[in-house]
Amino acid sequence: MAVTESDIPRILHLLTCGNVRDEHGMLRWSSNYTFLVSVSEATDKTMAVYKPQRGERPLWDFPDGTLCYREVAAYHISAALGWMLVPPTVLRDGPRGIGSVQLYIESDPEVNYFTFDDSHIEQLRRMALFDYITNNADRKGGHCLLDDANHIWGIDHGICFHPAPKLRTVIWDFAGQAVPEQLLCDVQRIAEEVDQPSSSLRRELEPLLAEAEVQALQSRLRRVLHRREFPRPGPGPNYPWPPV
């Protein structure tokens, strides 16, 4: 079922307040413990992806126990931009403790970034810019899901927001091209929000990210507005592995 902007408040409420039942088992392709769960409240019900903090695999370059927080921070950035890239995601207690709970997007597993066509270019532009803003270190082709309304959703944002440059993505199609003016307007708007300690976006991010990570986010936003172009591959590893 397609998700529209008007559905988001209801979905967020359900994910936050609904009863989580771990009845569908673990998703086997994930490197961390990830579960497909049911979330219900009264007659409202949906499936969701639950990533408990205590199931996170330690990484040498990210603080332990922070991946679920980064998943939620990525949703807040997507929502503030108004781009509907990240499915509704909340941080809450679940059957295995605190973790991120994200709306499950039904999609064909054979369809991913490498099978998209020219009709998806505008959505991929937003995704490429979003990945730079969030410093996504793992944009695999399989992390781009296409729903039945031809809308692209990005998933798996647990290793975003590192203060050092970490961008690794398969989406380099737009490298060096000018960022469309409307996207720059959206970036300008959230840059102002992140700069304001009293803004709702800043208050949402502060419990999820370290101060240095928020400052690095501010720097990336300013860099987009200054350069007005999509990022180019840097000197380090620029592609995730495996690519799908």
pLDDT of 146 > 90? The answer is yes
Cα–Cα distance for residue pair 127/150, rounded to 1 Å:
15
pLDDT at 31 over 80: no
Q: Is the pLDDT of residue 30 over 80?
A: no
What does the pLDDT average to over 197-205? Answer: 97
Q: Are strands 19-21 and 35-41 parallel, antiparallel or unpaired?
A: antiparallel
Q: Would you say residue 236 lies in a domain?
A: no
Helical ranges in 177-236 per DSSP H: 181-195, 200-205, 211-227
Q: Sign of the CA dihedral 155, 95, 18, 200?
A: negative
Query: Looking at the domain assignment, is residue 13 inside a domain?
Result: yes
Structural domain includes residue 130: yes
Whether 102 has a pLDDT exceeding 80, the answer reads yes
- CATH number of the CATH domain containing 93: 1.10.510
With 90 as the cut, is the pLDDT of residue 235 above it?
no
Average pLDDT over residues 89-115: 96
Of 234 and 88, the one with more pLDDT:
88
Band of residue 29 on the pLDDT scale cut at 50, 70, 90: low
Q: Give domain status of residue 82, yes or no.
A: yes
Q: Per-residue confidence at 89, pLDDT binned at 50, 70, 90?
A: very high
Query: Is 205 within the bounds of a domain?
Result: yes
For residue 140, being part of any structural domain is answered with yes
Of 188, 213, 200, 225, nearest in space to 76 by CA = 200
Given this model, what pLDDT does residue 181 score?
Answer: 98
What confidence category does residue 47 fall into, taking pLDDT thresholds of 50, 70 and 90?
Answer: very high
240 lies in a domain? Answer: no
Residue bearing the bigger pLDDT, 234 or 51: 51
Q: Token match 């503030």: residue?
A: 80
In a domain, 233, yes or no: no
- 69 has a pLDDT exceeding 80: yes
| CA 238 – CA 39 distance, rounded (Å) | 37
Q: Regarding predicted confidence, which is higher, 87 or 236?
A: 87
- Domain containing 119 equals 5-227
Give the bridge partners for 110, in sequence order.
none
81: buried, middle or exposed (CB in 10 Å: 19+, 13-18, 0-12)?
A: buried
- The answer to whether the beta carbons of residues 68 and 100 sit under 8 Å apart is yes
Q: Is the dihedral of CA 22, 25, 29, 31 positive or negative?
A: positive
How many C-beta atoms lie closer than 10 Å to residue 16's C-beta? 14
pLDDT at 230: 98
Residue 23: partners with Cβ closer than 8 Å, 6 or more residues away: 37, 38
Evaluate if residue 1 carries a pLDDT over 70: no
The total of structural domains in the chain comes to 1
